[in-house]
Chains A and B, each alone.
Chain A
Amino acid sequence: MTTCCIRPLLFCLALLSSPAGAEDWQLQRMPWGDPDFQGIWTSATVTTLERPDELPNLVLTELEAAAVESGMEDLREAIDNIGEGDLEAGGDVGGYNSFWMDPGTRVVRVRGEPRGSIITHPEDGQIPFRFTEKLRMYWNIYKVLTWTDHPEQRSEGERCTVGFGSTGGPPMLPVLYNNNYQFAQSPGHVMILVEMNHNVRTLRIGGEPLPEVIKPWFGDSIARWEGDTLVVETSQLHPEQFLRLAIKHQVMMGTDTRVTERFTRLNENELLYQFTVSDPDIYTEDWQGEMTLRKSEGPIYEYACHEGNYALPNILAGARQEEQE
C-alpha cells in the first residue's frame, strides 16, 4: 500500500487548492510521439460504481459531495472504535481496521465536477442487468461467500489468482485498498501494473487478437490512439474472472463481454478514465462509467498474495473442522 490514508488526503487538498496550475500544463509526449501517461496513478475514491439511492443525480452539489465524504470518515471511525474488553468466544472478530485500507477520502471529480457514481450511463447510475442475470449474479455471490468444499469455489481475491473485484479490470474499478496503477510505455506497448496482485496488463497498439482458445486473466487487449486518447478494446476474458466481487462493486462479465476503455491525460495530475461494457447476454444495454485517476507519489511495493495466502487454506481447514464438530 503506497498510499494509506494521509497521502491521498494531502494530494486532494493540493489539487483543490491549485486549480490554476492546470492552465499552464502542456501534454508531454514520448520520444516516438505518443502522449506520456507514465507514472503511478490512484483511483481511490469514496464514490461507488453504482449510484446510492440517496443521490438522484450523477452530478453532485458541493453540499452532497461533502456529505458523502464525511460519511466515509464516520465509517472509518466506526471500524476503528471497537468495544473494550475481549471478544466473545466464537464471535465475529471483525476485519481490518482502517489503517490497512485505502478507500479514498474524496468523491470522484471529473473536470472538477463532483460525481454521485462512477456509472454515467444509464442515467439512473445502476448496472442494467437482465433480471435473470442479476439473479444469477446473486446466486454466484452466495456460492462464493458460503461454499467451502473446494478451493476453486472461493473468490478470485481469496485465491490470489487476481486482485479483489475488478481492480485489475477491465474496467479497472476502485476497491478497499491498493488502488494504484503504474503506467510505462515502449514503442507499440502501454503497460499497466495493477498493484493488487502485481498484475500486468500489456496493451499492445494494434495487432491481431489471440487465438480464441486463449482467454487470459484481464482478457486480450488491443489498443489504438484516437488523437491523444488511448482506446483499449478487450474481450476473450478468463472464464473464472466472471464474478468481480468487491465490497464496493459487484459486476459480472462473460468471456465474450467487450470492454472499451479510454484514457485521456487532462493535466499533470489527472488521467481521465472512461469505459463502456457491452454484453447483450448479461445487460439490457451497454453501460458506461468515468472517473479520474490521480497522480500518486512514492513507489508501488510488492503485493505478493499467493506466497502468503493463509486465508484460503484456513477457510477450507475451518470448514473441515466444523464438519467434525
Chain B
Amino acid sequence: MTYYPLLFLAGFAGSFHCIGMCGGFACALGPDGRGAGATSLRHVLYNTGRLSTYCFLGALAGALGQVICTSLIPGAQRQAPLLSASLDVGQRALAVTAGLLMIIMALRFFGIQGWHRVTGGFGSSTLVLSLRSLLGRRGFAAPLALGVLNGFLPCPLVYAMIAQAASTFNALSGCLTMAAFGLGTFPAMLAMGGIGRLLAPSWRQRGVRLAGSFILALGLVTLSRGIMPMMGHNMHHLWPAA
C-alpha cells in the first residue's frame, strides 16, 4: 500500500501552498501565554479541527462515489472492484471526472488560470475576515472551531483531494485519503506555528510547483484508471478500492 504515503507526500508538498493562505492563521494563532504546552495544544487542536473537516469531506465524497456506483449498476457492489480486473461503467465515469478535476486544479498551481469561479466561493472572503476574530480568543474551543471552519475554505488542493477521495468509491478509503493528505500538511503547519513566520516566497513557489506535480500525477493516474481498463488490473495492489 504505497497509496497513502503518496498522498501524505502530496499533502506535505502541498502544505507549502497552504502556508500562503492558512499559514497566516497558524502564525496568528501564535503562542499561548501559559507556556509551551498550551501553545502546542492550541496548534494541535487547530490542526485537528482542520483534519476532521478533511476526513469528513473525504468520507462524504467516498460514500457519494459508492452511492453513485451502486445506483448506476445495482449488481456491482463492493466485491466487484476488488475482484474483477476492470472497473464498471459508473466507477470509470467517476474516475474520469475526478481525474479531470484534479488535472484542472493542478494546472492552476502552474499558474494556468481558467475556470477559477469554482474556487472563488460564495461569501468566502467574509468568512476569512471573520475567522480572524477567533484568533485572539482564549480557551481551547476557539482554535478547534477555527480549524474546522478553515477546513471549509475554498482551496484547489483540497478540492483535488476530494475528487480523489470520491474516486475511491468507499467512505473509509475516502476518509483515509483525506486523512493522509491532511496529516501530510501537519508538519509544515505545526512548524509555522512554532517558527511563527512565513517561509521565503521562492521556497513557497517551489513547494507549490511540487504540489502541482503531485496532483497532476495523481490526476493522470486516476484518469487513466477510468479510461484504460488494464490499469486497474496492474495497479490494484497500489490503489485500495481498485
Q: Do A and B belong to a common assembly?
A: no
Q: B-side interface residues toward A, CB under 8 Å?
A: none
| Interface residue ranges, A against B (CB under 8 Å) | none
